[in-house]
Copies of this chain bind each other. A is one copy, B any other.
């Protein structure tokens, strides 16, 4: 059997399929369920400094090509998070996603994560911040660079930088984030949904994040562009639903993938389905291991 294990930095994963942040990972019980169902690793819902209720419902809207969501970064805050995960048995396979409005918040959160005995963080660089109205932290190249430098300097955490696709130049963004151990590409695409009879927005927050099959071509482009330019470790995410989708990301340079919205269509069996499909593909295409197809098209 061809090996499907993979490595992100010095982190070895038994298989390359990871639960994406924000989907079925608000509770530690669900994280464990994904890990038991065959996920190679799992990312928590993004955690901030303070408790947040998030936006009022509707927070999701299913459309023919995927999903719109504006959950609004609801999270219990870092204190409650640390409390809940005190005896958590799978800290090595769990990457803690954090978000903040400025460098100080990110750094403080990262230190708390390390203090709670996790060793990996994913930086959700797609939340609104104050410097530029309407812009995201992750669109501010200087801030991205600073956040990563300070976390790398101030902790021993492995740092994954999750980049937003809502920019003119994702490669420039990646370069600003190059001190990270890995890139996670991509977060949701900004979008809107409309209900024509009520003439109201499909999401309470009006603007939401677009995920699922409809954004896969955009995610592939981001992975390709960034891999070609940087050759760094990349975790591909965006619309991955089948093992064929996962292969596409590997061929363009991703060493692992995350699945989010696809859980809506495939539910927990998705991990073993994708893993089996990857193994069969490697077998039948005569590759000995996953690493042999990573980036071969670039």
Contacts and interface: CB of A to CB of B under 8 A. Distances in A.
Given A196-B248, A196-B281, A217 B214 contact: yes
A236 to B, nearest CB: 11
Given A194-B248, A252-B192, A217 B68 contact: yes
A293 B200 CA distance: 12
The secondary-structure label for the interface of chain A is mixed
Interface stretch (A48-56, A106-114, A146-154, A161-169): A161-169
Contact of A210 (B135, B218, B293): B218
Interface in A158-183: 166-169, 171
Contact of A192 (B169, B224, B244, B247): B224
Contacts of A167: 167-168
Interface size for chain A: under 10, 10 to 19, 20 to 34, or 35 or more residues?
A: 35 or more
Contacts of A64: 213
A189 B66 CA distance: 16
B214 A192 contact: no
Contacts of A125: none
A296 interface: yes
A218 B189 CA distance: 8
A129 interface: no
A250 to B, nearest CB: 9
Most chain-B CB neighbours within 10 Å: which of A191, A194, A199, A296?
A194
Interface string A133-157: 0110001000000000000000000
A239 to B, nearest CB: 8
Contacts of A264: none
Nearest to A200: B297
A268 interface: no
A251 B217 CA distance: 28
Instruction: Give the most central of A139, A192, A251: most B CB within 10 Å.
Output: A192
A263 interface: no
Contact of A194 (B218, B220, B285): B220
A220 B193 contact: yes
9 contacts: A65-B66, A135-B169, A189-B217, A191-B218, A191-B220, A194-B252, A199-B293, A199-B296, A200-B297
